[in-house]
Amino acid sequence: MSFKSGFVAIVGRANVGKSTLLNNIMGQKISIVTDKAQTTRMRIQAVLNRDDGQIVFVDTPGMHKPKNRLGEFMVEEIDQTMPEMDVILMMIDGSVGIGPGDEFMASRLPDRGTKILLINKLDKMTAESFEAVKQDSQKLGEFDEILGISALDGVTIGSLPDKIMSYLPEGPAYFPEDQWTNLDLRTVVSEIIREKALMYLEQEIPHGIAIVIDTFDEEEELTHIQATIIVERDSHKGIVIGKGGRKLKGIGQQARKDIEELLERQVYLELWVKVRENWRRSPHHVADFGYKK
């Protein structure tokens, strides 16, 4: 049996379900998922090992028009990822139809490689509405295949890896069998904390949140983690902490549960909040907080 391998990007505008799809294909959380736009900020690789090959999925930030240095970094991540891919999965939210954001994303797709259009939210569509969106998708350009899926439903995405594998070339395993992501442990932990912060916070604050892991000490029976939540304004600091520190405590409790599940050991997590005015506009701060090549 031949062994195939390759790189597969998942692209699309914000909040179409890219990270949900990746997590469900992998059977574990790789990318954090919230209802906030632009939750994913960097390229995240997930390695799916099979007997017949290895698929390296690359989750990308949601395509948008950038308004600051962080936004520029996120769009650069998408544009620099796509030309390197063997297969590109472009996702759209079929339940709302095709909009300008989808057309903008499609206009940036490279000419090379295999392109598959995934119409997500099949569970929220009738057969007629799906066919209408499929017809409308012609304005997005040429695709090798157009598939309807529900990113939350293992049945509709169960055959997707087989479909992808049929397009991949024969090649080597790019990662060891026991490696499931390119992210180091500190980055995974910081992303878990950011996910819980996004879930707890007001609509105007999440885009201005960053997480810095200050210490990560693995003792004999306990991992001690100190992390700082970075916000852009003094007024945001009070919102993150909450009355009597309740909101910060809730973020910490939820994050600690997921981190303990990840590390399979007890965790002591301390969270602090600091202000860095308009950090998303500063190339220095954007890079310093982990968003760099």
Question: Can you tell me the distance from the alpha carbon of 203 to that of 218, in angstroms, rounded to the nearest whole number?
Answer: 35
Tell me what pLDDT residue 293 has: 59
pLDDT in tens, 147-171: 999 988 777 788 899 999 999 999 9
Tokens of 242: 């909450």
Query: In the chain, where does DSSP find H-type helix?
Result: 18-26, 69-81, 100-107, 127-136, 154-157, 160-165, 185-200, 234-241, 246-263, 283-288
Assign domain 185-288 to its CATH superfamily: K homology (KH) domain (3.30.300.20)
* Residue recorded with tokens 């240095």: 69
pLDDT in tens, 240-255: 999 999 999 999 999 9
Tokens of 60: 């990308």
pTM: 0.76
Phi, psi of 129 (to 5 degrees): -70, -35
Q: How many CB atoms lie within 10 A of CB 42?
A: 18
Is 80 exceeded by the pLDDT of residue 142? yes
- Of 153 and 256, which is predicted with more confidence? 256
Is 80 exceeded by the pLDDT of residue 292? no
Which amino acid does the sequence have at 89?
A: L
Question: Can you tell me the distance from the alpha carbon of 225 to that of 248, in angstroms, rounded to the nearest whole number?
Answer: 15
**Residues carrying CATH 3.40.50.300, the chain:** 4-165
Rounded mean pLDDT, 14-22: 86
**Residues carrying CATH 3.30.300.20, the chain:** 185-288
| C-beta contacts of 220-225 below 8 A and 24+ residues apart | 221/265, 221/266, 222/265, 222/266, 222/267, 222/268, 223/259, 223/263, 223/265, 223/266, 223/267, 223/268, 224/267, 224/268, 224/270, 225/189, 225/259, 225/267, 225/268, 225/269, 225/270
Of 11-20, 86-95, 150-159, 230-239, least confident by mean pLDDT is 150-159
Is 80 exceeded by the pLDDT of residue 97? yes
CA distances 235 to 35, 133, 231, 232, 286, Å, are: 23, 43, 9, 9, 21
Share of the chain above pLDDT 70, in %: 88
Asked if residue 279 lies in contact with residue 290, where contact means CB atoms within 8 angstroms, the answer is no
Q: How many residues does the chain have?
A: 293
- In sign, the C-alpha dihedral spanning 218, 224, 257, 50 is negative
| Second-level CATH architecture of 4-165 | 3-Layer(aba) Sandwich (3.40)
Is 60 exceeded by the pLDDT of residue 33? no
Q: Which of 63-72, 110-119, 183-192 has the highest mean pLDDT?
A: 110-119
Tell me what pLDDT residue 17 has: 87
Q: How confident is the prediction for the chain on average, in pLDDT?
A: 86
- Of 37 and 95, which is predicted with more confidence? 95
Tokens of 250: 């809730």
Rounded mean pLDDT, 273-286: 87
| C-beta contacts of 285-288 below 8 A and 24+ residues apart | 286/69, 286/70, 286/73
* Residue recorded with tokens 């520190």: 245
pLDDT in tens, 210-246: 999 999 999 888 999 999 999 999 989 998 999 999 9
Rounded mean pLDDT, 46-64: 85
* Residue recorded with tokens 């993150």: 240
Strand order across the 266-275 sheet: 210-218, 222-231, 266-275
Phi, psi of 203 (to 5 degrees): -60, -35
Asked if residue 164 lies in contact with residue 158, where contact means CB atoms within 8 angstroms, the answer is no
Rounded mean pLDDT, 37-41: 54
